């Protein structure tokens, strides 16, 4: 039976790299001044990130659409491979508005895949129950295939919701969806990483109180230079690590020498985060 050790550090914490961005990655190249790249550019970038960062990561998250076979070949056995199985409803250059299960990605899982990941856009709207049911189907699908489930709720205001408070929504989503018992819950960083260490720790402790089972943080929305402190605060208050992409490699998008910049910037960031996880993360078996 596959356990979370497949994507964890020997310490029992998680130091995982996300490289499953799809059209949002293309938009990042555009905003970096490199124009709208073709699929080959995205595939080359994803492969470079896998080759340079996966050897230092406990897990590596990839998508099926862009260069999966090349990325899979670059991920060493020491880094558990996580496959995104979310079908995204996303306008060109815009945020993901909703998701569903990617049936094609689920149909034929490569043996190397240790875990599946599903993004769920959580709102207080008339589709709330349907999203809970989607999460339940995802967790069951992973279990049926003998692999792990990593559930990633991201909160958004519902249309017309004028009193939306992100951190309250993050906690509400955690109470609702972690109770479904995914193997691992991937949460947004409280306060988007802002505030003092004491404020970060207090907000992380509030979030931990809403969790059922082990959880990690993602980096979207957090300033790159604040992410390490946010991970430390979350781990000190019960998190088991991180699964992050942008905080590691976003400033390398569009670089002339991608691999050189990954080695010069991203590897050191990842190693520093690994040290934080090993020192402070709650081992998953204790969650």
As annotated, the active-site residues are 186
Q: What is the DSSP pairing of strand 148-155 with strand 215-217?
A: unpaired
What burial class does residue 224 get, using C-beta atoms within 10 Å of its C-beta: 0-12 exposed, 13-18 middle, 19+ buried? Answer: middle
Q: Residue 124 and residue 133: Cα distance in Å, rounded?
A: 15
| DSSP string over 177-211 | HGGG--SEEEEPPGGGG-S-HHHHHHHHHHHHTT-
Closest C-alpha to 60, from 234, 225, 248: 248
For residue 186, the number of C-alpha atoms closer than 13 Å in the C-beta half-sphere is 29
Max alpha carbon distance in the chain (Å)?
48
Closest C-alpha to 79, from 43, 51, 48, 54: 54
DSSP state of 145: T
CA-derived radius of gyration, the chain: 17
């Amino acid at each position: 039976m596959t356990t979370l050790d497949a994507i964890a550090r020997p310490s029992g914490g998680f130091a995982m790299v996300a490289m499953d961005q799809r059209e949002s990655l293309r938009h990042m190249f555009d905003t970096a001044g490199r124009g709208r790249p073709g699929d080959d550019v995205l595939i080359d970038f994803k492969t470079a990130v896998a080759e340079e960062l996966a050897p230092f990561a406990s897990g590596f998250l990839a998508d099926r659409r862009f260069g999966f076979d090349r990325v899979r070949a670059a991920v060493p056995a020491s880094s558990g491979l996580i496959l995104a199985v979310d079908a995204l409803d996303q306008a060109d250059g815009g945020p993901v508005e909703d998701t569903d299960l990617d049936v094609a990605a689920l149909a034929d899982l490569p043996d190397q895949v240790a875990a599946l990941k599903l993004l769920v856009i959580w709102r207080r709207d008339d589709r709330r129950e349907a999203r809970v049911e989607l999460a339940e189907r995802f967790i069951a699908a992973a279990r049926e295939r003998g692999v792990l489930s990593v559930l990633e709720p991201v909160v958004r205001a519902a249309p017309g919701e004028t009193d939306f408070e992100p951190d309250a929504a993050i906690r509400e989503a955690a109470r609702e969806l972690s109770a479904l018992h995914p193997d691992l819950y991937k949460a947004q960083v409280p306060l988007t990483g802002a505030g003092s260490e004491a404020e970060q720790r207090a907000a992380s402790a509030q979030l931990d109180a809403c969790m059922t089972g082990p959880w990690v943080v993602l980096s979207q929305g957090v300033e790159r230079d604040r992410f390490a402190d946010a991970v430390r605060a979350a781990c000190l208050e019960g998190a088991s690590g991180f699964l992050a992409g942008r905080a590691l490699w976003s400033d390398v998008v569009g670089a002339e020498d991608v691999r050189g910049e990954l080695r010069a910037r991203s590897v050191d960031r990842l190693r520093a985060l690994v040290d934080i996880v090993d020192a402070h993360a709650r081992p998953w078996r204790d969650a």
